[in-house]
């Protein structure tokens, strides 16, 4: 049981703040938008940890016109007494010592998401100023910090203006209030995205049943307000993700239990679709690369559903068991666990490595689903799941036969591919690039203008297949899709193997118009559904052809957006000529190389997958059959004149 009394002696100090400002990327990943929001998450996570451990019920995030942000909670409050070894207040320790906090002591926090980060001190170190107020139910304590250059030119980061003091303001409140202003000399932008923040706050409210989270953006007129509170927790999360889909049963199945010190909860609901969407979290942290908890959940789900099918005579004695993917066809599932001493691994530190999580999650999955199977009114739900799996198994067997046929005629397929694919001479996959180009005209220019050693060109004829509405056997029957699969060399779906990848940069190159955007969306949907690891490992890019050519005599400038056009006109000067490119096919090979393919001058956007749950929901909305949902989304979010907004929505760096 966690301690209700929280003192400075509970705070462990691991190291000081040296080098945070010198190398901020080491601590927050980057100084771009992702890093900017990281310093906000450090404060938000601390507030959520208070709530997740039963000490708070409310969190507020607020953005101000001066560029600052604040986070307030009604928890225990940061300790205000004097730390036994640092000889300063707990507040000062938390904001001036890297990796100092109560989360290194399991007596104070049973589970912590904030421990995944580097501490509130980094937020302080990378802010112009930071203000703290602590409420203990009687009075208000306050402290301020600032960053500045001293007389010798050395930058002082997050220095206290004065020790923690009683502000003399009586209050009945409890908790902490932190307001800070990111330092514009550190970050490329200090403009917080309300959309990015709201997405994370909504997710945290889903994952922490009953917690109330309020958001205010005072930069807007009128003030943007959002309030999140989900009594259904992750059940509501599954329902939210399945908007626009057709569920097989009305309410998601839900279970929660604790085993071996690990708190486990999951919610599942099948739809009539084909893609599976399993989203897992550890201590509120998304684990996009999965890990031991996902492995245990999948094993438990497969075992218990096969047992159900056998015991209810839905699988005959001589029939083989279903495989895991049969039961996961069309599933939307949230798996959330909370545990101590979390070990993350993987390239992006979003894969759970704790081996003890696997048997615990598997056991709870089997035990809790077995209990639900014993509830008479739920029998129809499990019968529907088995019926769905039977259909999936038939398709799986048909797919296997299709693949065997495809392998048998692989030589013929490769001969057809040779006619389309202009391969490169290098056999070093890590240096090679595949441009998937819209149309034969643009493909011809790309083939002539490319670097033949490292750049391969695959032209597409017409719009590719929208795989969101198709099963895998239909995908394998589409010539354009098969051409891509053959060129990449990885296989798809359950056969996908990243080791076979022939090109470490897969670049989608389409026109800068609505048709081009549609083709990008179709291809990204294909990669997300059947080659997700290709995106997760950072191999998928979008090429950015220019919209305008501004030239005068020997001076040539290219503008990639309407906002950039005016700057280029001013640079070229009076007497300029302007060309608006309607498509890639209008460029000759030299222009296409200079603007879009030359590694020294081109702009590439890397497609990322930081939020698989949200990506699945957006793809379902934009590429599925729910017309009204798609219309509503476009009306609410589409802003084609703001490039940064577009990048944020589809997950690009």
Q: Per the structure block, which two tokens stand in for 645?
A: 């907004």
570 is catalytic: no
User: How many H-runs (helices) and E-runs (strands) does the chain carry?
Assistant: 21, 24
CA angle 496, 502, 507 (to 5 degrees): 95
Q: Which residues pair with 155 in a beta bridge?
A: 149
511 is catalytic: yes
- The helix, strand and coil proportions of the chain, stated in percent and rounded to the nearest 5, come to 40, 25, 35
Q: Determine the Cα–Cα distance for residues 615 and 606; give it in Å rounded to an integer.
A: 15
- Rounded to 10 degrees, the C-alpha dihedral 107/111/116/119 comes to -50
Marked catalytic residue, from 513, 562, 625, 644: 513
CB-based burial of residue 553 (10 Å sphere; 0-12 exposed, 13-18 middle, 19+ buried)? Answer: exposed
- Largest CA-CA distance found in the chain, in angstroms, rounded: 84
Marked catalytic residue, from 92, 133, 511, 557: 511
Q: Per the structure block, which two tokens stand in for 640?
A: 């084609």
Give buried/exposed letters for 167-181 (b at 16+ CB in 10 A, else e).
Answer: eeeeeeebbbbbbbb
Marked catalytic residue, from 18, 195, 515, 590: 515
Marked catalytic residue, from 438, 468, 480, 557: 438
Q: Determine the Cα–Cα distance for residues 58 and 73; give it in Å rounded to an integer.
A: 6
258 is catalytic: no
Residue 355 region by backbone torsions, left for phi larger than 0, else alpha for psi between -120 and 50, else beta: alpha
DSSP line for 85-133: TT-SBHHHHHHHSTT-BGGGSTTT-SS-SGGGS--HHHHHHTEEEEEEE
Q: Which residues pair with 457 in a beta bridge?
A: 422, 435
Q: Determine the Cα–Cα distance for residues 158 and 145; give it in Å rounded to an integer.
A: 5
| Cβ(432)–Cβ(503) below 8 Å | yes
Nearest partner of 60 among 143, 183, 175, judged by Cα: 175
513 is catalytic: yes
CB-based burial of residue 533 (10 Å sphere; 0-12 exposed, 13-18 middle, 19+ buried)? Answer: middle
Q: Per the structure block, which two tokens stand in for 297?
A: 């959940």
**Count of Cβ atoms closer than 10 Å to residue 1 Cβ:** 6
Q: Which residues are catalytic?
A: 438, 511, 513, 515
């Amino acid at each position: 049981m966690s301690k209700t009394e929280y003192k400075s002696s509970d705070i462990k100090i691991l190291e000081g703040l040296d080098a945070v400002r010198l190398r901020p990327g080491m601590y927050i990943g980057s100084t771009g938008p992702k890093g900017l929001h990281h310093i906000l998450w450090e404060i938000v996570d601390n507030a959520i940890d208070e709530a997740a451990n039963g000490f708070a019920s409310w969190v507020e995030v607020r953005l101000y016109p001066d560029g600052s942000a604040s986070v307030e909670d009604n928890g225990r409050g940061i300790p205000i007494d004097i730390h036994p070894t640092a000889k300063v207040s707990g507040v000062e320790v938390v904001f001036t010592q890297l990796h100092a906090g109560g989360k290194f002591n399991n007596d104070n926090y049973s589970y912590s998401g904030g421990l995944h980060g580097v501490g509130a001190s980094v937020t302080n170190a990378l802010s112009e100023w930071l203000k703290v107020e602590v409420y203990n139910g009687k009075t208000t304590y306050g402290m301020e910090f600032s960053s500045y250059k001293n007389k010798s030119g050395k930058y002082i980061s997050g220095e206290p203006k004065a020790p923690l003091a009683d502000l003399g303001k009586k209050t009945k409140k409890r908790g902490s209030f932190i307001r800070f202003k990111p330092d514009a000399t550190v970050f490329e932008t200090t403009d917080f995205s309300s959309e990015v923040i709201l997405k994370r706050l909504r997710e945290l409210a889903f994952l922490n049943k009953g917690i109330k989270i309020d958001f205010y953006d005072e930069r807007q007129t009128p003030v943007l307000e959002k309030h999140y509170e989900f009594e259904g927790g992750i059940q509501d999360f599954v329902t939210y993700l399945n908007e626009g889909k057709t569920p097989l049963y009305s309410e998601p199945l839900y279970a929660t239990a604790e085993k071996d010190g690990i708190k486990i909860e999951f919610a599942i609901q099948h739809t009539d679709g084909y893609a599976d969407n399993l989203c897992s979290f550890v201590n509120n942290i998304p684990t996009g690369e999965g890990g031991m908890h996902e492995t245990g959940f999948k094993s438990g789900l497969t075992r218990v559903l096969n047992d159900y099918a056998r015991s209810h005579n839905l699988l005959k004695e001589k029939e083989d068991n279903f495989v895991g993917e049969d039961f996961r066809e069309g599933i939307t599932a949230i798996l959330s666990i909370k545990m101590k001493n979390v070990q993350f691994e993987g390239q992006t530190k979003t894969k759970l490595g704790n081996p003890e999580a696997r048997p615990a999650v598997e056991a709870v999955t089997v035990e809790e689903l077995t209990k639900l199977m014993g509830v008479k009114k739920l029998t129809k739900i499990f019968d529907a799941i088995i019926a769905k799996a039977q259909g999936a198994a038939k398709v799986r067997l048909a797919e296997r036969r299709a693949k065997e046929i495809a392998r048998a005629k692989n030589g013929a397929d490769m001969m057809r591919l040779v006619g389309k694919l202009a391969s490169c001479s290098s056999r070093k996959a890590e240096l090679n690039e595949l441009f998937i180009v819209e149309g034969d005209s643009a493909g011809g220019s790309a083939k002539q203008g490319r670097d033949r050693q490292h750049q391969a060109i695959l032209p597409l004829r017409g719009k590719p297949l929208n795989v969101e509405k198709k099963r895998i056997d239909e995908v394998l029957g589409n010539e354009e899709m098969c051409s891509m699969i053959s060129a990449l060399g990885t296989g798809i779906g359950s056969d996908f193997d990243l080791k076979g990848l022939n090109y470490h940069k897969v670049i989608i190159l389409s026109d800068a118009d609505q048709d081009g955007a549609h083709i990008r969306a179709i291809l990204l949907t294909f990669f997300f559904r059947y080659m997700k690891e290709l995106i997760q490992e950072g191999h998928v890019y979008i090429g950015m052809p220019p919209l305008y050519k501004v030239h005068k005599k020997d001076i040539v400038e290219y503008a990639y957006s309407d906002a950039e056009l005016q700057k280029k006109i001013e640079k070229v000067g009076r007497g300029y000529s302007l060309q608006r490119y309607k498509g890639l096919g209008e460029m000759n090979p030299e222009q296409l190389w200079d603007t879009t393919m030359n590694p020294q001058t081109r702009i590439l956007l890397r497609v990322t997958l930081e939020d698989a749950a949200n990506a699945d929901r957006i793809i379902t909305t934009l590429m599925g059959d729910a017309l009204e949902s798609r219309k509503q989304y476009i009306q609410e979010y589409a802003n084609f004149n703001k490039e940064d907004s577009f990048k944020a929505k589809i997950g690009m760096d």
